[in-house]
Amino acid sequence: ITMSDVLYETVPVGLWRIDLTTKKLLHANKTTLEILGYSNLDEINSCVDCKKIFSSVDDCDQDFMIKNNQGKNIWVELRGHVNPSGFIEGTIVDITSKKTIESSIKQNIEKNWKDPLGNVNKLNIVNFELDRFYRLIKSNLDMICGCELLFDY
C-alpha cells in the first residue's frame, strides 16, 4: 500500500472517477460512499439520483440536492474535470449544513428586515447566523486541511 492509496481512502473529501463515455462510476473512495450512504460502487451505479448527477458532470462546479441511500435529501457539491485519459475525476462534499444555514440566514433577513426601521435585535440575529456560518466553514476547512487554520474571522 502506497502513501497515495492511504491518502485516497482516508481524506475527508469524497473522491471519484467516472468513465468519460459511459458516465459509469469506476472508483470512489470511502468518503464518497459515506456521503451517498452506499457500501459499494454497484449500489451507487444503480442509484437513479447518483446516475443523474454523475452523468451531468464534465468540467464542473455544481451543487445538487439528491436523496442518499437512507432516503434523506442532502446537498452535495460536485467538482469535476476531464482527464485526457478518458476519465472525469473530481470531488464530492456534503454541503447540507451550509445550505441549511444559508437558507436560515435568508429567511431571517427576509422576515426581520421588511421594516427598514428595524432594531438592534434584528441585526444581532443576522450577526449570529453569519457567525454560525463562518464557524462551520472554518471547521470544514480545518477538517479538509487536516490542521487548524491560523486565521480567525
Are 36 and 72 in contact by the 8 Å Cβ rule? The answer is no
Are 58 and 44 in contact by the 8 Å Cβ rule? The answer is no
153 pLDDT band (50/70/90 cuts)?
very low
What region, left, alpha or beta, does residue 55 occupy, with left being phi > 0 and alpha being psi -120 to 50 degrees? alpha
**Long-range contact set of residues 138-146: C-beta below 8 Å, sequence gap at least 24:** 140/93, 140/98, 143/12, 144/12, 144/13
Can you give the pTM of this predicted structure? 0.68
> Alpha-carbon distance 57 to 53, whole Å?
7
Q: What is the pLDDT of residues 30-69, one digit of tens each?
A: 999 999 999 998 988 888 777 777 777 666 788 888 888 8
Residue 7: is its pLDDT beyond 60?
A: yes
Q: Could you give the residue ranges of the DSSP H alpha helices within 11-147?
A: 30-36, 41-46, 48-55, 96-112, 120-145
136 pLDDT band (50/70/90 cuts)?
confident
